Structures are given as structure tokens and as C-alpha cells.
């Protein structure tokens, strides 16, 4: 089933390209493809910077930025979809740039992903670095 889906996606992209090209012409279709790529890169970069600021705020509060990290992964996938030529992949990429939809995606797939926080030495108050030393 997954293999069939993987094979159908490129054919669907080609079919959409042909239909769009028939309606608006070859050069406008190519221009629209380039425009969506440039606009997509700009939007992904802008939202990535905002997400990075959220991560920094979470870390400053002493929280583990799991939600922001997973949203960052979604943004990365959306950026890749926007760079791949095709109107279907562009539509999916732009949908992932809508913050409420992105959060919904993360909540939907978050139970399948586990993140582990680094351990701290609780016996020494949590701020100690373990090691050894010798006097010279």
C-alpha cells in the first residue's frame, strides 16, 4: 500500500502540472513553481526563527522544549515539501506552515515519539559535574 502511494504521488503531481499548464501556460506554471519555492523558503525561515525564540524561552525557564522541537521537525519537512517542484507538495507544505495545524500535527503524532531529558546528579543538587581530580 505504501509503495503504491509512493508511486502515485509523482503521477498526481505530473497530472496537476499538465492541467495547470493547459490553463495558464507553460511559463506562468514554471513561474508559479518558482514563486511558491521562494515564498515557502521565506515563510519557513521566518517561522523557524520564531520557533527558535520559543525554544530559547523554554530553556531559559528550565523547561524541555519538546513541543517546539517537534514543531521544528514539521517545519523542516514543510520546507522540503515547498522546495520539491509540485503543486500538491506545495499545498501540503503551506498547510504545515499554519501554526494551529502544525500544533495539531504534533499532538497527533507526539504519542509515537519519545524524547529523553538529560539526567542531572540529584545527590549534588543538580548542578554538579562528575569527574575526578589529582593534586600535583
Residue 24 lies in a domain: no
Task: Examine residue 102 and state whether it is found in any structural domain, yes or no.
Answer: yes
Q: Which domain holds residue 38?
A: 34-111
Name the more confident of 34 and 132: 34
> Is 46 contained in some domain?
yes
In-domain check, residue 23: no
pLDDT of 90 reads 93
| Phi and psi torsions of 62, nearest 5° | 85, 15
Condensed to tens digits (0 to 9), the pLDDT of residues 19-43 reads 999 999 999 999 999 999 999 989 9
Can you tell me the distance from the alpha carbon of 53 to that of 47, in angstroms, rounded to the nearest whole number? 10
Rg of the chain over Cα atoms, rounded to whole angstroms, equals 22
In this structure, is residue 12 part of a structural domain? no
- Over the stretch 77-103, which tens digit does the pLDDT of each residue have? 999 999 888 999 999 999 999 989 988
pLDDT in the model for residue 4: 86
Number of domains observed in the structure of the chain: 1
Supply the pLDDT for residue 58. Answer: 87
Amino acid at each position: 500500500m505504501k509503495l503504491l502511494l509512493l508511486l502515485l504521488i509523482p503521477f498526481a503531481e505530473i497530472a496537476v502540472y499538465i492541467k495547470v499548464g493547459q490553463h495558464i501556460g507553460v511559463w506562468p506554471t514554471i513561474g508559479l513553481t518558482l514563486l511558491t519555492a521562494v515564498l515557502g523558503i521565506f515563510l519557513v525561515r521566518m517561522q523557524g526563527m520564531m520557533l527558535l525564540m520559543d525554544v530559547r524561552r523554554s530553556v531559559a525557564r528550565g523547561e524541555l522544549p519538546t513541543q517546539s522541537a517537534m514543531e521544528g521537525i514539521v517545519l523542516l519537512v514543510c520546507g522540503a515539501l515547498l522546495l520539491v517542484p509540485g503543486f500538491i507538495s506545495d499545498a501540503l507544505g503551506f498547510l504545515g506552515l499554519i501554526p494551529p495545524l502544525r500544533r495539531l500535527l504534533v499532538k497527533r503524532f507526539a504519542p509515537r515519539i519519545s524524547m529523553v531529558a538529560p539526567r542531572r546528579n540529584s545527590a549534588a543538587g543538580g548542578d554538579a559535574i562528575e569527574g575526578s581530580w589529582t593534586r600535583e
